[in-house]
Amino acid sequence: MAFALSTMQLESSAFTPGDAIPTKYTGEGDDRSPALTWQGAPEGTKGFAVICHDPDAPLVQNGSYGFVHWLLYNLPASTTSLAENSGEGTPGLNDFGKNGYGGPMPPEGHGTHHYYFWVLALDKATDLPEGLSLPELLKQVEPHLIGMNRLVGTYQRD
């Protein structure tokens, strides 16, 4: 199924779709990942992956654009939520050069950036090593993608 939206729903208790992400979840705050909850995974889901990406970042790297803030994978099919600052799953390499979550931190004066939190439903459980980059992760999971959806929040530094 290529990268097409599904009927899955993704929410956060930290912010509503299209609204500002509270400073607590940014590089200017506590830099904690927000709580996420999803439902409506397609039949046959065996695992999940989560990605947070900022397409507004003025970067082109690894053949792609934007900035990767979070990669999380090896989440079992029984997972339907992540607590704030969750330690579940296996962290991948963000564009800060670290494994795990790195909150929004757009350049000062760069305006409002949009942060896409994606949940990917997979038809195969994964046991991938820690520290994969976004291209490495997508190469592994794209053939097993059966559904996905997103939650978009915004953030702007003054």
Task: Give me the architecture of the 9-155 domain, per CATH.
Answer: Alpha-Beta Complex (3.90)
Residue 131, beta-bridge partner list: none
Q: CA–CA separation, 146 vs 150, rounded Å?
A: 14
Q: How many CA atoms lie within 13 A of 127 on its CB side?
A: 0
Contacts for 43 with CB less than 8 Å, ≥ 6 apart: none
* Spatial distance between the Cα atoms of 37 and 11, rounded to a whole number of angstroms: 5
Taking the model in full, what pTM does it have? 0.93
Give the CA diameter of the chain. Answer: 45
Distance, in Å, from the CA atom of 50 to the CA atom of 89, rounded to the nearest integer, reads 9
124-144: pLDDT as tens digits: 999 999 999 999 999 999 999
How much is the average pLDDT of 34-49? 96
Q: Is residue 147 within 8 Å of residue 121, measured between CB atoms?
A: yes
**What pLDDT score was predicted for residue 1?**
42
Cβ proximity of 118 and 51 under 8 Å: yes
Distance of alpha carbon 5 from the chain centroid: 15
Q: How many angstroms separate the CA atoms of 152 and 88, rounded? A: 22
Stronger pLDDT, 109 or 72, i.e. the higher one: 72
Alpha-carbon torsion, ordered 122, 127, 131, 133, to 10 deg: -30
Strand, coil or helix: what is 141?
A: helix
pLDDT tens-digit series, residues 56-101: 987 656 556 789 999 999 999 999 999 999 999 999 999 999 999 9
DSSP code of residue 115: E
